[in-house]
Structure formats: structure tokens, C-alpha cells
């Protein structure tokens, strides 16, 4: 059969492509939004096929939306399915694998003659309070990879410094779906409340609009190890009190903020309830947002504060850029490399509260954040897809 190849950076016209030229990728995972957006928006003819995520309970079936734990990380899967893929691309999902298990995986790929690509999303695992386990995993994966990809120049420099390996730097594609981006951005241009454009599918996720209000949001989620929200929120209470029209909204999941939750944090919950009673913030406790609810929530904010004390990159930050929500991000990790942020100092040694207050003031008195250009996001997505295709073909000779 014939397919049409996308136009790549050379600007050459499309050419026909036979099925023998298709690149079959065992992608771990394949159903995650980041990996889905490694395919061009107009995907007709893109010659990369990613295997569906196997069902973790029955690897003969596709998992569709359930991909964890990834069955493809088992060396037995590699040997049993070697005829079905040309190249193995690991993104994430290996948290529960020991270094020895990852070593066995890379050995199986070498035995089967399959090139191994690893995209280094996290140089520090946001779920691990102790970095040693993730470092040991990286000490296996990064030297074993035939090619490395990462998202920012800062992360690439760290990879070079720690492992003497060069990583291809390819930016994070958009996170929010393009129709939602178009609707929210059209609302902003028309002077309408952007959260209303997605709130129909997400009732109650967005705050009520108040004229002249500047809404600052912090979401503590389920309190992953990388978060240190209590001093961040305390500093934000002081910052908001000094800015006319500013409102602080704190969201968190039920498992952390309700005393019946499995991960209940009494110190954090107690502080937030007391601050709510004093009228210093609005507290919203709920379960996980759907995508539509998350987009409505982010679109309802003027600025989202990331309360991280360590980390590397952020899909949350990318979603904010897609929707035109400003971001206040810590200077740990490489968040400022991803896109425009207001930075403050926060790492495992502690928070510089003054720098956070200054970041809030800068965000409050700056011009409203400009959402990422949809045309630019589509172009970026196409270029990232073309770069992956070029990388894959180079490894396959």
C-alpha cells in the first residue's frame, strides 16, 4: 500500500511511502497524552505505528486507557513479540522496576537486535522522597540507550554532565486538545470568561467569575513527594493580602484533605481549614479531575503556582501555557526552560518566601498571560513528530 509522508524540515514535497517503510514502535506507554501528541495533528500518512499498550492482566489484549504497570518492560514480552516491532521507546512507567530488572530488559532488546530509545522526562522522580532508587534506574537506562531524548537544554546539560551522553532536545508538545484550546482562546479574545467554554463538560470545576479579581491557584493534588505546599500557601496568604482584588484558591484531593482519606495530612488540612475560616483562601476538596474539569479549572485561574521542592519537567505547566494561565514555578528542575514562568526559589533545603511574594506581585501587575499560539503548537507538534521519525530511521539504518 502507499502512504503519504509528511513534509519534513527540508521542505521537499511529499513522496510515496510503501508499507515496508513503516516504523513499528513498542512505546512505553502509547496511550498517554504526551505520546499521542508525538504524531502530527494531521496524521494521515505518518509512517510511525505505535503498538497498543498491552493489558497488564492479559498481554494478548490492548489495555486502551489502562497501561500501568507496563507489560512491555518484561523481557519475556520482548522475546515473545520481537517480530511485531522494530524499535523500543521508553518514556516512563518503570517506577516499580529494579535496576536489575531494567538491565534484563535492555539485555533482551540487544539480544533481539532492537534499538532502544529513552526519553528522559524525569531526572528526579517526583514520587520518590529519596532520589537514590531513581538514580540507580537512570544509571542503567541512560548508558544502555541507543539514543536519548529530553525536553529542555538544562536537562540535556545535566545528562551530559552526569553520564557523558548527548540527548536530543525536543520540546514538550501541547497537552490540552486543540478544540479546547481554540474555544478558550476565542473566549479570551471576545472578552468572555474562558472557563465557561469547557465548564459545560465540567460543572463546578471552575470558580465563579468576579470583575477585577486576580485568582491565584495552588493544587496540592494527592500530595506527591515532590510537593511542599504548606510553606508555599502560607507565603501566598501574605502575598495575596497585599494585592487588591487578589484571591487565593487551594484545591486538593479527598484522600489528603479529608480525615477519612488514606493519605490524610492533618497538618496541611488543619492549616487550610483555619485559613479558610479566616477568609484568607477558598478551599476546594474533591476527587481527581477529568480532563475537561482540569481544563476548566486551569482556565478559571489567572496564575497557577507549582509548589514543588524538586522535579524536572511539568505537563501541568504546558497545559497552563495552552490555556493562557500564567505559571509561578520553583527554580529547582528545568521549568523555566520549558516556557515563560515567574520563578521563585524553592528546593529541598527550603522555601525563600520573599522570592515567592515577589513572583506573585510580578504576575499580578504584569500584562495577562498570552496563551500559546495554536498555529505554533501545531507546527511544533509536526516538527517533534518529524524529529522522532528521523531519529527512528537513523537507528534502523
Q: Is residue 309 part of a domain?
A: yes
Tell me: the pLDDT tens digits for 169-214?
999 999 999 999 999 988 887 777 676 666 544 555 666 556 579 9
Residues 5/8/13/16 CA torsion (nearest 10 deg):
-20
Q: Find residue 119's DSSP bridge partners.
A: 149
User: How many angstroms separate the Cα of 374 from the Cα of each of 255, 322, 380?
Assistant: 36, 8, 10
Q: Is residue 80 part of a domain?
A: yes
Tell me: the pLDDT tens digits for 255-300?
999 999 999 999 999 999 999 999 999 999 999 999 999 999 999 9
Orientation angle between helical segments 374-396 and 178-190, nearest 10 degrees: 160
Mean pLDDT over 44-67 rounds to 69
Which three-class secondary structure state does DSSP give residue 23? Answer: strand
- pLDDT of amino acid 15: 42
- pLDDT of amino acid 4: 27
Domains contained in the chain, number: 2
358 and 219 in one domain?
yes
Q: Is residue 79 part of a domain?
A: yes
* pTM for the whole structure: 0.89
Identify the residue whose cell numbers are 478544540. 179
144 and 105 in one domain?
yes
10 Å Cβ neighbour count for 252?
A: 24
Q: Is residue 372 part of a domain?
A: no
387 and 358 in one domain?
no
Give the residue from 167, 176, 174, 179 showing the smallest Cα distance to 387.
Answer: 167
- pLDDT of amino acid 5: 30
Q: Is residue 91 part of a domain?
A: yes
The phi, psi pair for 355, rounded to 5°, reads -70, -30
Range of the domain at 279: 178-365
351 and 387 in one domain?
no
96 and 25 in one domain?
yes
111 vs 42, higher pLDDT: 111
- Domain with residue 292: its CATH number is 3.40.50.2000
220 and 167 in one domain?
no
- Domain with residue 42: its CATH number is 3.40.50
134 and 17 in one domain?
yes
Copy the grid coordinates of residue 303: 496564575
Alpha-carbon span 248 to 82, nearest angstrom: 53
Tell me: the pLDDT tens digits for 80-97?
999 999 999 999 999 999
Q: Is residue 371 part of a domain?
A: no
Q: Is residue 370 part of a domain?
A: no
231 and 162 in one domain?
no
Q: Is the peptide bond before 69 cis (omega within 30 degrees of 0)?
A: yes
Q: Is residue 19 part of a domain?
A: yes
229 and 110 in one domain?
no
Which three-class secondary structure state does DSSP give residue 357? Answer: helix
356 and 321 in one domain?
yes
134 and 103 in one domain?
yes
141 and 247 in one domain?
no
The DSSP secondary structure of 85-112, one letter per residue, reads: -SEEEE-S--TT--HHHHHHHHHHHHHT
Amino acid at each position: 500500500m502507499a502512504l503519504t509522508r509528511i513534509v519534513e524540515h527540508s521542505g521537499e514535497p511529499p513522496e510515496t511511502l510503501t508499507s515496508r517503510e513503516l516504523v513499528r514502535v513498542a512505546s512505553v506507554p502509547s496511550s498517554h497524552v504526551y505520546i499521542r501528541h508525538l504524531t502530527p495533528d494531521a496524521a494521515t500518512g505518518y509512517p510511525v505505528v505505535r503498538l497498543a499498550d498491552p493489558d497488564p492482566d492479559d498481554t494478548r489484549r490492548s489495555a486502551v486507557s489502562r497501561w500501568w504497570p507496563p507489560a512491555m518492560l518484561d523481557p519475556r514480552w520482548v522475546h515473545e513479540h520481537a517480530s511485531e516491532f522494530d524499535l523500543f521507546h521508553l518514556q516512563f512507567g518503570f517506577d516499580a522496576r529494579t535496576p536489575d530488572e531494567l538491565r534484563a530488559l535492555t539485555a533482551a532488546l540487544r539480544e533481539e537486535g532492537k534499538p532502544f530509545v529513552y526519553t528522559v522526562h524525569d531526572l528526579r522522580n517526583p514520587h520518590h522522597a529519596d532520589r537514590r532508587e531513581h538514580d540507580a534506574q537512570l544509571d542503567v537506562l541512560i548508558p544502555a540507550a541507543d539514543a536519548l531524548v529530553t525536553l529542555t537544554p538544562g536537562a540535556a546539560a545535566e545528562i551530559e554532565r552526569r553520564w557523558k551522553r548527548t540527548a536530543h532536545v525536543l520540546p514538550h508538545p501541547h497537552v490540552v486538545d486543540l478544540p479546547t484550546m481554540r474555544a478558550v482562546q476565542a473566549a479570551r479574545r471576545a472578552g468572555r470568561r474562558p472557563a465557561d467554554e469547557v465548564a459545560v463538560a465540567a460543572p463546578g470545576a471552575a470558580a465563579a467569575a468576579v470583575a477585577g479579581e486576580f485568582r491565584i491557584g495552588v493544587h496540592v493534588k494527592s500530595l506527591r513527594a515532590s510537593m511542599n505546599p504548606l510553606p508555599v500557601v502560607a507565603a501566598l496568604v501574605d502575598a495575596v493580602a497585599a494585592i487588591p482584588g487578589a484571591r487565593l484558591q487551594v484545591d486538593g484531593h479527598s484522600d489528603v484533605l479529608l480525615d477519612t482519606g488514606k493519605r490524610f495530612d492533618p497538618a496541611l488540612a488543619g492549616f487550610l481549614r483555619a485559613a479558610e475560616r479566616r477568609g484568607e483562601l477558598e478551599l476546594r476538596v474533591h476527587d481527581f479531575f477529568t480532563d475537561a474539569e482540569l481544563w476548566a479549572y486551569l482556565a478559571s485561574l489567572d496564575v497557577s503556582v507549582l509548589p514543588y521542592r524538586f522535579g524536572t519537567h511539568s505537563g501541568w505547566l504546558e497545559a497552563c501555557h495552552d490555556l493562557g494561565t500564567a505559571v509561578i514555578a520553583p527554580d529547582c528542575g528545568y521549568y523555566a526552560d520549558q516556557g515563560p514562568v515567574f520563578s521563585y526559589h524553592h528546593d529541598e533545603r527550603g522555601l525563600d518566601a520573599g522570592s515567592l511574594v515577589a513572583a506573585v506581585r510580578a504576575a499580578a501587575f504584569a500584562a495577562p498571560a498570552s496563551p500559546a499560539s495554536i498555529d505554533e503548537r501545531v507546527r511544533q507538534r509536526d516538527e517533534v513528530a518529524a524529529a522522532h521519525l528521523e531519529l527512528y530511521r537513523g537507528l534502523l539504518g
